[in-house]
Amino acid sequence: KNDHTLVFESRFESGNLRRAIQVYEFEYDLILKPDYNTRGFTQWYYFRVSNTRAGRTYRFNIINLLKPDSLYNHGMRPLMYSENEAKTTGKGWVRAGRDVCYYQNSMKRKTAGHYYTLTFRVQFKHDNDTVYFAHSYPYTFSDLQRYLNRLEEDPKKKQRLKRRELCKTIAGNTCDLLIITTFGSDYEEVRRRKGIVISSRVHPGETGSSFMMKGIIDY
């Protein structure tokens, strides 16, 4: 009961925290795992903490970011999701944190230049809560598959779309291709139609583009 050390976890889908180091009683340095198939790219984050204490002020320092500037220096704040708040009030992801700052630190990269730190303070509302933090609203591969399955199960929508496997990703997941058109015409007429190719989510942290693509398809 007296141990109020936070428990960090990211072994869930899209989590990318590699290490958490407690530097003071309520302060932690965090190191992210780089994106796959990159030269150590780190600019987004998704992790959770548990064993929280209400009313205490915690400071998190993410210390191995790469970009020389960030929207965090222009008013942006981290996203936070409390399991307790979600159960009791229905509240989901919210922007949270104060004293948010993004700056170059003294850690040198192996190639050239330095790493950058995102630091912020946060207070939790509940004891023993489980709280998630993210750079942007999460949209996982499982979210995508559930959405595509719902499209195929819809009697009206499935008349105007076909789902194909474009390729496999580096992780071995299916990269889906949707063909959206009116399929009632003959084959040659369909072939003569001009097509528009729309793609999104080039990098793992660009979850906003996944929501934009969903909006385009829904429209």
Domain assignment of residue 198, given as a range: 141-218
- Domain-terminating residue out of 75, 99, 134: 134
Mind listing the pLDDT tens digit for each residue in 30-59?
999 999 888 889 999 999 999 999 999 999
Residue 13: its pLDDT value, please?
96
Contacts of 71 (CB under 8 A, 6+ apart): none
The residue written with tokens 């989510």 in the block is 201
Residue 82: its pLDDT value, please?
98
Residue 38: its pLDDT value, please?
87
Residues 120, 145 within the same domain:
no
3-class DSSP assignment, residue 75? coil
- Domain-terminating residue out of 86, 108, 134: 134
Amino acid at 90: G
User: Residue 212: inside a domain, yes or no?
Assistant: yes
80, 91 in Cβ contact below 8 A? no
CATH of the domain at 48: 2.60.40.3120
Residue 22: its pLDDT value, please?
98
Residues 38, 113 within the same domain:
yes
3-class DSSP assignment, residue 211? helix
Show the low-confidence residues of the chain (pLDDT under 50): none
